[in-house]
Structure 1
Amino acid sequence: MNAGEGSTALDHETAPDGARTRHEEGSRSALNEPPALPPVDRAFAWTLLVTSVGAWIASAILVAERLHLYKDPGYVTSCDINPWLSCGTVMKSWQAALFGFPNPLIGIVGFAIVVTIAMSMLAGARFRRWFWVCLQIGLFLALAFLGFLYYSAVFVIGALCIYCMIVWFFALPMFFATLKRNLVTGTIPAPAGVVRFFDHWTFVIVAVAEVLVFGGVFIQFYDAFLG
């Protein structure tokens, strides 16, 4: 044993009991507790978790309803309320299985990944820049796909799926919260004015987007909603 090691051991042995206890508790805390998230990441992680869990649940219900339709073509889905609010009508369209299998299966996998990312962040995980860029691209593609399904349901099929609308609702804050996080942290380079705008106005952007999406639904199905 060298002199340095002997000194460390001696200091530990001769330290007061209270100081030793505090040192041991601090060591255990450092081992068990994840490092604190920066405020922007902490708020973002909770936003990501809530929105992804909500969208995942809606996707799971859609998958279950679609399985019932496979077993019984005459099955009436839980959200078949009238000719306009009819998940069954939407599910039987070709747009509902764009890649040869039910679209909600994509949501089951995709939103589960986002839930895992959010939980990992809350547990103290850190990810590299390329990871966040890939997530942003993935959420953009998801939003574009949902935009196609929105247009198809509202303006082509002429029927609404309640669970699909829940996914639309959660997808918007999920995408824009991720964009805000990536701009504020410098993951996605942007002019200072753009960063400040998203830092202060993302909530308003999401609110306006929600109004546009569901306002379009209300206008298109005005007679159905108001009789």
Structure 2
Amino acid sequence: MPATPLTDDVRLSPADDVPAEEARLTWYARPAGTAALLLITSLVALTATIIIIVERALLTADPTHRTSCDLNPWVSCGQVMQSWQAHTFGFPNTYIGVVAFSVLITVAVSLLAGARFARWYWLLMNAGILAGFAFCVWLWYSAVYSIGTLCLYCMIVWAMVIAQLVLVTSRNLQTGTLPAPAGLVRLARELAWPVIVLLYVLVFASILLELGLGVIGID
């Protein structure tokens, strides 16, 4: 049967002052945990995005500028920044990141302040993160198989979005925001972290298989 959605009037468990229904959730599916997850991952991703913006401004001002992540022929933010994929919609992709991660930081701070959001809001946020993940998948494919060069700061953003998608989806399944059979909810609770690790491994493996060991400095 689908998991029962949590309500705001759930009484506290006398044992630990945690709402009884929340006690069965993983730490990241509880309000404070979700807030911490969104805040940390979004701050990391936003920082990486801002660095890209600064580096691009320096590169625009001085075409000979060597960016801080121009590490080797395979890891070069400067080369990626000059590709058309860096302006997919006619403006720098970083603008999307600044807006998206700022929104998620606002959500995180609101949760820490005690705000609670309606089911439709969580579904909309889940859909938004899914769209961001799909965009990251396309950027990964472009970088690895088309451009043939990686942007270190972009990969940091990819890593944060992967974690956000898996854990927020798991949170929504556990709380009943996304109705699902009990078996699927259990899998979402138990396999969220292994899925994240698996996705990281797959991305890393695809990079090594396509670009070679030179990416990590091995000739």
2:11 counterpart residue number:
none
Q: Does 1:205 align with 2:195?
A: yes
2:6 counterpart residue number:
none
1:25 counterpart residue number:
none
Gaps of 5+ in 1: 1-34
Q: Which has the higher contact order (CA 8 A, sep 6+)?
A: 2
Greater Cα radius of gyration, structure 1 or 2: 1
Distance in 1 (alpha carbons) for counterparts of 2:159 and 2:208: 14
Q: Does 1:118 align with 2:108?
A: yes
1:36 shift after superposition:
6.9
CA RMSD between the two structures: 1.6
2:120 counterpart residue number:
130
Q: Any conservation in 2 of the 1:53–1:111 contact (CA below 8 Å)?
A: yes
When normalised by structure 1's length, the TM-score is: 0.81
Distance in 2 (alpha carbons) for counterparts of 1:167 and 1:223: 22
Code of the aligned partner of 1:65: E
Instruction: Flag the structure with higher helix content.
Output: 1
Percent identical residues: 44
Counterpart selection for 2:47 from 47, 51, 57: 57
Q: Which runs of structure 1 show a deviation greater than 3 angstroms over 4 or more consecutive aligned residues?
A: 35-39
Gaps of 5+ in 2: 1-16
Counterpart selection for 1:187 from 164, 169, 177: 177
Number of matched pairs: 193
When normalised by structure 2's length, the TM-score is: 0.84
Q: Per-residue displacement from partner, 1:3-31 (whole Å, max 9, x unpaired)?
A: xxxxxxxxxxxxxxxxxxxxxxxxxxxxx
1:165 counterpart residue number:
155
**Within 5 Å, which residues of 2 pair with 1:4-153?**
38=22, 40-41=29-30, 42-153=32-143
Distance in 1 (alpha carbons) for counterparts of 2:207 and 2:39: 27
1:167 shift after superposition:
0.7
Distance in 2 (alpha carbons) for counterparts of 1:223 and 1:205: 25
